[in-house]
Amino acid sequence: DTGVSQNPRHKITKRGQNVTFRCDPISEHNRLYWYRQTLGQGPEFLTYFQNEAQLEKSRLLSDRFSAERPKGSFSTLEIQRTEQGDSAMYLCASSLGMGDTEAFFGQGTRLTVV
């Protein structure tokens, strides 16, 4: 088991472009989370999945953001029509669920919108 994997590690995009990030959780982890972290701040919750079902979305997640987790395995986070304010580190985490509360985090995808 190699931990939570996120790709790409870095992404630079022009304002208005669409971007997609991928997260591969630890195998057999039922829960998958996306967080956003801006410089000098703690991670902010965006959304989470229990298997393939998206169970909660933050109000931070505008309609330009969409996340999927097909078949309850990897997850993608897409941002449409990117804005400079979207520049941040996007973190993915996974946990077993089933009462286990520890989440394991990936190294994140750093998005820069120019």
Partner 1 sequence: AQTVTQSQPEMSVQEAETVTLSCTYDTSESNYYLFWYKQPPSRQMILVIRQEAYKQQNATENRFSVNFQKAAKSFSLKISDSQLGDTAMYFCAYQSGTYKYIFGTGTRLKVLA
Q: Which residues would be at the binding site for partner 1 (CB under 8 A)?
A: 3-4, 31, 33, 35, 40-45, 48, 55-56, 91, 93, 95, 97, 101-103, 105-108
CB-nearer residue toward partner 1: 48 or 65:
48
DSSP labels for 8-38? -SEEEE-TT--EEEEEE--TT--EEEEEEE-
- Residue closer to partner 1 by CB (options 33, 82) is 33
Note whether 32 and 22 are within 8 A (CB): no
Residue 88: CB minimum distance to partner 1, A: 14
Supply the minimum distance, in Å, between the C-beta of residue 79 and partner 1.
Answer: 20
User: Beta partners for 5?
Assistant: 24
* Cβ atoms of 7 and 108 closer than 8 Å: no
- Tell me if 48 sits within 8 A of 33, measured CB to CB: yes
Measured from the CB atom, the residue of 40 and 85 that comes closer to partner 1 is 40
CB of 18 to partner 1, least distance (A): 26
